[in-house]
Structure 1
Amino acid sequence: MVYAAPTELADIKVSNLYQDYNYVMEDGTWRHMEFTSEDIDEKDLKRFRAYEALASYQYNVDIMTYVVCSAKVKNPKSRIQAGFNTYQVIPICLGDRDAEVLLKTLMTKRSRREPLTREDFIQLALCPIMGGSISQYKRIKAALKIIQDSTALSYEEKETLVSVLYVLADKFLNSKEMEIIKGVMKMTKLGQMIFEDGVSQGHTEGYYATITGILRKKMQEGVSPDAVAKYLNLDKEYTQRLCSLLQDLPAQDDLEIARTFVKEMEHRQQV
């Protein structure tokens, strides 16, 4: 021992620690999802470890963290030694998979009238983080068409897949590319239903859960509600209310916030 370390942490700053996504599994455990377009370093792992420890203590659950990496991430660091303990995350890197090859394979299956599997659709939703030379515009446009034309998916399943595509695009693309992607999404029937105003065209829990997740991220970056509204082509009133719910209900996840918001809108329409 060299000397005694401090035992009182009186000057710790109180902060809201926002995680990207948390999902409750059938066995009651949580899966924490993070997204990154940069290499994972030791500082990132310590931050994820803090997220897990706080959420696990607060909600009394076991948590595993998965980090979804863009194609630029080649050798992500996945573990650190923390005293007697080893902390690790599970990186999801698809940079070695070619998005163009995947799309051609799925289109060939469709042309042969072969059914697409659940795994096919999951890979399709993750095509923005795959490698390959095909542009994000082309890969997302093709993915949207396959999803839109599928007769094996329910509307809710299609909506979920489109939402995943949108979230990944928002995480990994620049503002100019995002404008293109939003335009691509609006060109499909499903995209129009998600993006256009009106209760029957987008006021759904899944959609607003996605918007809430994006809004959470932008708030962390210090972006104003009005700027987010313009960025997402949303009514300012909707965005401001979602911001208020995020601040008033910090313990709720994106889906819970979305459900509260949708119920409020339904109540207003009935009055």
Structure 2
Amino acid sequence: MQQEQKKSEPQTESRNLHHEDLALKTAAQYFGEELMPLLGITGKAKYVAPTELIKLEARQMYQDFNYVSADNTWIHLEFESDSITTEDLRRFREYEATTSRTYQVQVITYVICSSQVRKPITKLTEGISIYRIKAVRLKGRNSDRLFALLEAKEKQGVPLEKEDLVPLLLSPLMSGRLTIGERIVKSLHFLQSSPNAVTKTELEKMQAVMYTLALKFLSKKDLGKVKEMIFMTELGQMLVDDGIEIGLKRGLSQGERKIVSLIRKKFSKGLTISAISEELELDGTYVEKVISLISEDASRNDLEIAEILISQN
């Protein structure tokens, strides 16, 4: 989104927490299906394409969204809340070049700019090379007017429909008196108060888009309010359940690792299997299995052995 050295805390957090992967993938799917036409992006997305590129130097390059269009051209979307810099363009060019060479495809990069970006740079000239991106700005759309329209419908008792709710997903990129965080919270309120306008699955997809944009644009402090709202929804419960499952697995792995470490130390001192099992009060078969895994591959560390043991249970 910005230069690599100034990536936001929420963006880093989203990559470290595996349990948010579901929301990100769901948002990508819905973005391609519903929001690209609203942004004026030509071409229909057939399916979501990979967004993580690994170069030989083992540096991972994370892109926002990639889609394969009907003519097999890749549509690459990036979001910018700050002005587009020359360094951003170099980064986008690197993404395009790596993607094109890896998958043997043509790539077009669209940069979705918030209303704060007044005059986005779209061209980079270096030597005889000219690189261009397509900037998409929602400069003509005002979130205040959108919210006022929906509030007026609610007061009149007119039920909101899908066509009313979809534009809310772009409200963080529009202009308006509210902050981006306040717009996201307000949009989530509308979504949650209109459950009959869309199917349960579609509602979860919409919430996933809002959550993904929150991760992209909000500070850690502002993100807390959005998380509170998300975690009251069914999508939020799925994220919590997934996080608990991962937490349990991590806890089991760490506990098992400590036992493996003790067995390794005793074994390195020349103690027999029976002596180790007696001293540590462990089942002899379990101790034998641990020592077997240690002996099979000396490069395995304690955590790797612990995870093997857990997977075998």
Fold-level match, TM-score > 0.5?
A: yes
Residue equivalent to 1:52? 96
Provide Cα deviations, 1:86-136, integer angstroms capped at 9, x if missing partner: 321122223553212111223334546376454x44421111222211244
Aligned residue in 2 for 1:181: 226
The partner residue of 2:203 within 158, 174, 184 is: 158
Query: Secondary structure of the equivalent of 2:60?
Result: coil
When residues 126 and 82 of structure 1 are mapped into structure 2, their CA distance, relative to the original with a 3 A threshold, is: same
Match of 1:93 in 2: 137
Cα distance between partner residues in 2 of 1:237 and 1:25: 40
Give the CA deviation at 1:55: 0.4
Percent of aligned pairs with the same amino acid: 32
Residues 115 and 85 of structure 1, relative CA distance in 2, 3 Å threshold: farther
State the SS of the aligned residue for 1:71. Answer: coil
Give, in whole Å, the separation in 1 of the partners of 2:236 and 2:93.
Answer: 40
Root mean square deviation of aligned Cα:
3.1
- Cα distance in 2 for partners of 1:234, 1:92 equals 39
TM norm structure 1: 0.61
Distance 1:51 1:75 in 2: 23
Task: Say if 1:78 and 1:88, in contact at 8 Å, map to a contact too.
Answer: yes
Instruction: Give, as a single letter, the amino acid of the residue that structure 2 aligns with 1:184.
Output: M
Q: 1:138 to 1:237 in 2, by over 3 A?
A: same
Structure 1 residue 139, shift from structure 2 partner: 2.3
Q: Which runs of 5+ in 1 are unaligned?
A: 1-11, 198-202, 204-228, 241-267
> How has the CA–CA distance of structure 1 residues 17 and 146 changed in structure 2, closer, same or farther, with 3 Å as cutoff?
same
* 2:62 counterpart SS class: coil
Q: In the TM superposition, what whole-angstrom CA distance separates every residue of 1:130-171 from its partner, at most 9, and x where no partner exists?
A: 221124454223312322314232222222211111111111
Match of residue 83 from structure 2: 39
Unaligned runs of 5+ in 2: 1-55, 252-309
Q: Per the alignment, do residues 116 and 94 of structure 1 end up closer, same or farther by CA in structure 2, a change over 3 Å counting?
A: same
1:128 aligned to which of 157, 160, 172: 172
CA distance in 2, matches of 1:144, 1:74: 27
Q: CA deviation at 1:47?
A: 1.3
| Structure number, greater radius of gyration | 2
Comparing 38-47 with 146-155, greater Cα deviation is found at: 146-155
C-alpha change, 1:157 and 1:84, in structure 2 (3 Å) is: farther
Could you say if the C-alpha distance between residues 13 and 131 of structure 1 is closer, same or farther in structure 2, counting changes exceeding 3 Å? same
* 2:118 corresponding residue in structure 1: 74
Matches of 1:155 and 1:24, distance apart in 2 = 27
Q: Which residue of 1 aligns with 2:66?
A: 22
Q: Which amino acid aligns with 1:46?
A: R
Distance 1:115 1:35, change over 3 A: same
Look up the match of 2:183. 139
- Paired amino acid for 1:236: G
* Separation (CA, whole Å) in 2 of partners of 1:90 and 1:114: 37
Any conservation in 2 of the 1:100–1:139 contact (CA below 8 Å)?
no
Matched residue type, 1:125: L
The one-letter amino acid of 2:169's match is A
Change in 2 beyond 3 A, CA 1:34/1:238: farther
Q: Which has the higher contact order (CA 8 A, sep 6+)?
A: 2
Evaluate the alpha carbon distance shift between residue 177 and residue 117 of structure 1 in structure 2; reply closer, same or farther with a 3 A threshold: same
